[in-house]
Amino acid sequence: MPSPVRLLLVNGPNLNLLGIREPDIYGRESLADVEELVRETALERGAEVRSIQSNHEGVLIDAIHAARIDCAGIVINPGGLTHTSVVLRDALSGVALPVAEVHISDVSTREPFRHHSFIRDVAVVHVVGEGVAGYARATRDLLDVIEGRTDGAERAIP
């Protein structure tokens, strides 16, 4: 395991608009607030975070591949790619790092096309519908998995 433990935080397409548009769905906090929250949460456990947001699938995939070298796990909100992207799923599966999937909104109560996730079964931690605070829980739960406190199974969505 890299020392200190480093996490990759990935935010997918359009999440750069956090806090700017649709506050009724996604809240008022910005992407910078999310990145700071994850950084502070990880730091409480002595871990570091590298953050990336991109609107381009290939950029996200390159960042995930690079994480294989020096990260112990990935916290990801794939945005709309959650529901469409086999290649993002393959990248996450290919690097074989533990993954925490986060969604700010409760996708299960939104449009039917948001109910399916290509990422779900390659992630060991799932946090859905807890707002931006869900990133902090995902970070803690992922660090628990990395540190061997849990295998994450009890957090899996059936």
**Which spans of this chain sit near ligand CA2 (rule: CB under 6 A)?**
14-15, 17-18, 21-22, 26, 77, 79-80, 82, 103-105, 107, 114
Whether omega before 4 lies within 30 degrees of 0, making that bond cis, reads yes
In the bound state with ligand CA2, the residue whose beta carbon lies nearer, of 41 and 77, is: 77
Instruction: Judge whether 42 and 85 are in contact, CB under 8 Å.
Output: no
> Which residue among 56, 65, 103, 126 is the active-site one?
103
Q: Minimum distance between the CB of residue 2 and ligand CA2, rounded to whole angstroms?
A: 27
Of 97 and 127, CB closest to ligand CA2: 127
Catalytic residue among 26, 65, 83, 135: 26
Would you say 26 or 118 has its CB closer to ligand CA2? 26
In the complex with ligand CA2, the residue whose CB is nearer, 54 or 105, is 105
Dihedral, 70, 53, 108, 132 alpha carbons, nearest 10: 90
Residue 114: CB partners within 8 Å, gap ≥ 6? 82, 83, 107, 108
26 is annotated as an active-site residue = yes
Establish how many alpha carbons lie within 13 A of residue 118's alpha carbon, considering only the half-sphere containing its beta carbon: 16
Phi, psi of 12 (to 5 degrees): -85, -165
As a whole number of angstroms, the distance between CA 36 and CA 71 comes to 18
Which residues are designated catalytic?
A: 26, 103
